[in-house]
Amino acid sequence: MNAIFVMLLGLAAMFLGYVFYSKFVAEKIYKLDPNFKTPAHEFEDGVDFVPTNKYVLWGHHFTSVAGAAPIIGPAIAVIWGWVPAFLWVIFGTIFFAGVHDAGAIWASNRNKAKSMGNLTGDVVSKRAQTLFMIVIFLVLLMVNAVFATAISGLLVKFPSSVIPVWGAIFVALIIGQIIFRKWMGLGTVSILGVVALYLLIWAGPSAPLSLPETVGGLTDNASWVLILFGYAAIASLLPVWMLLQPRDYINGLQLFIGLILLYTAVLLLGPDMTAPAFNTNLPEDTPSMLPLLFVTIACGAISGFHGLVASGTTSKQLDKETDLRFVGYFGAIGEGSLSLATIIAACAGFATLADWEAVYSSFGQGGVAAFVEGGANIISQGVGLDNEIAETLLTVMAVLFAGTTMDTGLRLQRYIFQEWGNIYNISWMQKALPATLLAVISCVALAFGAGSDGSGGLAIWPLFGTTNQLLAGLTLMVITVMLVRLGRPMYVTLLPLIFLLIMTVFALFIQLKGFYMEENWFLFGLDIVVLVAAVWIALEATSALSNLKKEQKS
């Protein structure tokens, strides 16, 4: 089938979802009120609470939720064929992610812009709040290990990207200084920054750089993982304006440029989907599609991480309540379209089926590298860019996304450790440096504990997806309880919640068996922790809803 058709079908379906379903949800379920005084107006302080233009708000809601995860997930999941991944991304975006993201902003907006964690405590129970914190910690722990592994794999596979990737950090550092010291306007700096980045990308292939295969018993992959964590630790200790802010900004621009480039190339080239629609010739180690598909693609279909962004910063800047339909729901569609582009790149970017099968030779193979290779083929043939430059471009895009997430993730984890230091009165843990070291050590332990050469990250990808879905489940639970209290229909959020819980618990059991067979006791233990959290959420949701029913009867 032609990729143009797949692309138009997917985009049209998501657009119709926005026009009809989100209108229904906004008007009949959340009953958005343009006259409601949003927290941004009620507590306006010029710092946290600032009413913001809805397109700007959408821009950074979208760029903060879209990162490397909506690329990695679908790129792994197309191993079952492109149709299942396509359907889950499209339907997930329309009926799960959009409702969840907009709902999280709505719930927070109606409760003084509290964060999802606090809301869980207020709306459901204190116990559920504790659970929420545990799940967040697990997600952060895994996201760093996973992304470090994914980046190191890319840097080893595409040595031409090493110089541009690290060069981009210097570009960001310089931009940060220029803007902070007000030497130039933002418009000029943005153009110069993007030009500098693309010059680096253009120069990358002529100066490939790779680490020696083993240094002191460490493979090149493992060395990169260690270097990345060292870098992330330093980056997360720097003030945000110095590196994180300019890098985030450049990444945001990159995201739009990359998406436009990929979609234009697909339109111009019109490649065929060479990958099978349903893969009947699965590699032996591939787990069953049901339920693993639903946890392999988390971001791009539904992801709990969005709820954190939605309730943490977005809800504090909402100008009018009715804006949240565009910001939340259309933000989810933006991310869905990134996943759709990934599916097309990984399935239509290879000349023959044999080429594709060679890349997807076992589960967890392919992944981002397939997205880069396939996407580069499409771009180079469609727009006429040199293949190696196109590869470098896409690698840099994926790596920068993942790198920024690592930086933020490590920072957040440090805050958690510092808070624990406060709660339990451990004075050294309250300081930034030791807390960062603790965070790094726990992530490195996970990356190496799951696989001795630091390759453990990708082994835990499905587990990461599961935990992320559980976080989404908690948010959906909060929204559902709020809806029941208001006497409104709850099926719009309850059905996705039930579906998610069934799929995640099912997936956890299958993975548990897998880890047991491999005798991977580290991941086995982690799986049990997540499983306990999942069952706990199910019980918590049941008890919250049955209590409500009783209250309403009496």
Partner 1 sequence: MRNMNIKSIQQWFSRAGELVNEFYNAPYRSAIARAKRDEDDLFMMLVFSEMMGVPNPASYYTLELQPLMLERFHDWHQRMGMEHSPLDHFRCC
Rule CB under 8 A: which residues touch partner 1? 47-48, 50, 52-53, 55-57, 59-60, 64, 179, 185-187, 190, 239-241, 244-245, 248-249, 252, 313, 317
For residue 519, give both structure tokens: 């005798």
Side-chain half-sphere CA neighbours of 329 within 13 A: 24
Rounded to the nearest whole angstrom, what is the least distance from the CB of residue 75 to partner 1 in the complex? 27
Rounded to the nearest whole angstrom, what is the least distance from the CB of residue 50 to partner 1 in the complex? 7
Nearer to partner 1, 251 or 395 (CB): 251
Report d(CA 481, CA 18) in Å as an integer.
24
Question: What are the distances in angstroms from CA 546 to CA 100, 131, 340, 347, 466?
Answer: 22, 19, 39, 46, 26
Nearer to partner 1, 240 or 498 (CB): 240
Alpha carbon of residue 180 to chain centroid: 29
Report d(CA 404, CA 245) in Å as an integer.
10
Nearer to partner 1, 266 or 400 (CB): 400
Rounded to the nearest whole angstrom, what is the least distance from the CB of residue 428 to partner 1 in the complex? 20
Rounded to the nearest whole angstrom, what is the least distance from the CB of residue 207 to partner 1 in the complex? 31
Q: Which residue has the tokens 């693609």?
A: 297
Q: Count other C-beta atoms under 10 Å from residue 295's C-beta.
A: 28
Nearer to partner 1, 59 or 258 (CB): 59
SS3 label, residue 431 = coil
Rounded to the nearest whole angstrom, what is the least distance from the CB of residue 319 to partner 1 in the complex? 12
Rounded to the nearest whole angstrom, what is the least distance from the CB of residue 239 to partner 1 in the complex? 6
Nearer to partner 1, 402 or 412 (CB): 412
Nearer to partner 1, 39 or 74 (CB): 39
Rounded to the nearest whole angstrom, what is the least distance from the CB of residue 280 to partner 1 in the complex? 46
Report d(CA 68, CA 230) in Å as an integer.
20
Rounded to the nearest whole angstrom, what is the least distance from the CB of residue 59 to partner 1 in the complex? 5
Nearer to partner 1, 157 or 320 (CB): 320
Contact 40, 30 (CB under 8 A): no
Rounded to the nearest whole angstrom, what is the least distance from the CB of residue 244 to partner 1 in the complex? 7
- Write out the H or E segment, with its range, that includes residue 214: strand 214-215
Nearer to partner 1, 188 or 264 (CB): 188
Rounded to the nearest whole angstrom, what is the least distance from the CB of residue 255 to partner 1 in the complex? 12
For residue 417, give both structure tokens: 């450790």
Rounded to the nearest whole angstrom, what is the least distance from the CB of residue 54 to partner 1 in the complex? 11
Alpha carbon of residue 182 to chain centroid: 33
In sequence order, what are the beta bridge partners of 272? 2
Contacts of 372 (CB under 8 A, 6+ apart): 154, 158, 391, 394, 395, 398
Rounded to the nearest whole angstrom, what is the least distance from the CB of residue 48 to partner 1 in the complex? 5
Report d(CA 119, CA 481) in Å as an integer.
11
SS3 label, residue 318 = strand
Nearer to partner 1, 60 or 211 (CB): 60
Classify the C-alpha dihedral 282-284-290-296 as positive or negative: negative
SS3 label, residue 111 = coil
In sequence order, what are the beta bridge partners of 2? 272
DSSP for residue 36: S
For residue 208, give both structure tokens: 């490939």
Classify the C-alpha dihedral 515-147-347-361 as positive or negative: negative
Nearer to partner 1, 20 or 256 (CB): 256
For residue 40, give both structure tokens: 């941004």
Q: What's the length of the chain? A: 554
Report d(CA 354, CA 504) in Å as an integer.
33
Nearer to partner 1, 186 or 199 (CB): 186
Rounded to the nearest whole angstrom, what is the least distance from the CB of residue 259 to partner 1 in the complex? 16
Nearer to partner 1, 190 or 381 (CB): 190
Q: Which residue has the tokens 């100008």?
A: 319
Q: For 272, phi and psi rounded to 5 degrees?
A: -90, 150
Rounded to the nearest whole angstrom, what is the least distance from the CB of residue 242 to partner 1 in the complex? 11
Contact 317, 52 (CB under 8 A): yes
Nearer to partner 1, 40 or 124 (CB): 40
Is it true that the peptide bond before 291 is cis, omega within 30 degrees of 0?
A: yes
Report d(CA 7, CA 68) in Å as an integer.
20
In sequence order, what are the beta bridge partners of 52? 318
- Write out the H or E segment, with its range, that includes residue 156: helix 126-157
Please choose, from the candidates 199, 175, 155, the residue with its C-alpha nearest in 3D space to the C-alpha of residue 247: 175
Nearer to partner 1, 153 or 409 (CB): 409
